[in-house]
Structure 1
């Protein structure tokens, strides 16, 4: 959908506003799903918003802008060097190098981190701690629970620094392998480090299809799911035709699928 800044369409309860850089993937009387017009842009705000009974959206419209990484450290005893070394937004490719201010301190974490294309740092910000701290923990307890995933092997009670644990997503869920995500968590000086994300499948119910006047095109009505990035092809129910410009073949995007709609020929 091409958009023009300031143009406005009216719906039954809530108004739709169209902005540059922001694309509306799906429109209904009670919800909108957005994405940025360019994959190099980052969305700030809710990807899906719903229309409330008072005629207001439950969240503000999201905005799309350049990808930047936040300088989110407040440690006073740590020195941070930037490359390139000048004051401007931190964009993908920028590196930060850390060192400790003062004697008797050790750096806990990665010495150098990089701003990635998704606006996240390649590793968490490190900390400076007293190297003489007694009772410093270097081992980890059992790895944490991860949403929609489980460890491939049985969990142990204790892990040494450097040991990794591999996770597998539940059936029909898809592991996100884009940085900084992976299938592993690593024990580092008493803490589990790493990020695991399982992308949700999409499901379609008989009730939803009946409301939209559609059926599955190639399968029976008991198999109505699609993993992330997979497609479901629909067909109009008998005597109905496709309404609008939405295609009958739709893709699953992390649990979200915009359904087409078919109506009677004279509606």
Structure 2
């Protein structure tokens, strides 16, 4: 948010800005009209992948741009970054670890919602 003042005249405006990786939802600039402010925006939290939860669900990240590095499926036995940040409403695709399967492959795509990233679960293959 732009610098705060104690008093604003009618017609004044304030510009909002979210911290890095947060997504602004609503108007970037709000105005005071007749003593009433427009509805302020909300900063929606990003999701942060969790290596422990991925391990417990027998999954790995299939792809996602992480700190200027592309995480790819482990075809060449290179480990992907353990932590990625995913903005609100963005998706991330997972893959089952070797030897594990999932009944519906579309479940391997998860969408970040207000800092919450649901993890798919893979099961031991037959």
TM-score, structure 1 normalization: 0.38
Question: Could you list the runs of 5+ residues in structure 1 that have no partner in the other structure?
Answer: 1-150
Contact 2:50 2:83 in 1 (8 A): no
2:82 to 222, 225, 232: 222
Query: What is the rounded CA distance, in whole Å, between the counterparts of 1:227 and 1:154 in structure 2?
Result: 26
Q: CA deviation at 1:245?
A: 5.6
Which entry has the higher C-alpha Rg, 1 or 2?
Answer: 1
Structure number with greater CO (CA < 8 Å, separation at least 6) is 2
The answer for the alignment partner of 2:94 in structure 1 is: 234
Measured on the aligned residues, the alpha-carbon RMSD in Å equals 2.1
Contact 1:243 1:261 in 2 (8 A): no
Contact 1:184 1:194 in 2 (8 A): no
Q: CA deviation at 1:265?
A: 1.1
TM-score, structure 2 normalization: 0.73
2:20 pairs with 1:171: yes
Q: CA deviation at 1:184?
A: 2.3
| SS of aligned partner of 1:195 | coil
Query: What is the rounded CA distance, in whole Å, between the counterparts of 1:241 and 1:194 in structure 2?
Result: 46
Q: CA deviation at 1:196?
A: 1.0
Contact 1:246 1:260 in 2 (8 A): no
Higher helix share: 2
- Deviations 1:149-206 (Å, cap 9, x if unpaired)? xx1x322232211100010112111122xxxx31223223444332312222222211
Question: Could you list the runs of 5+ residues in structure 2 that have no partner in the other structure?
Answer: 64-70, 72-79
Contact 1:173 1:227 in 2 (8 A): yes
Number of aligned residues? 111
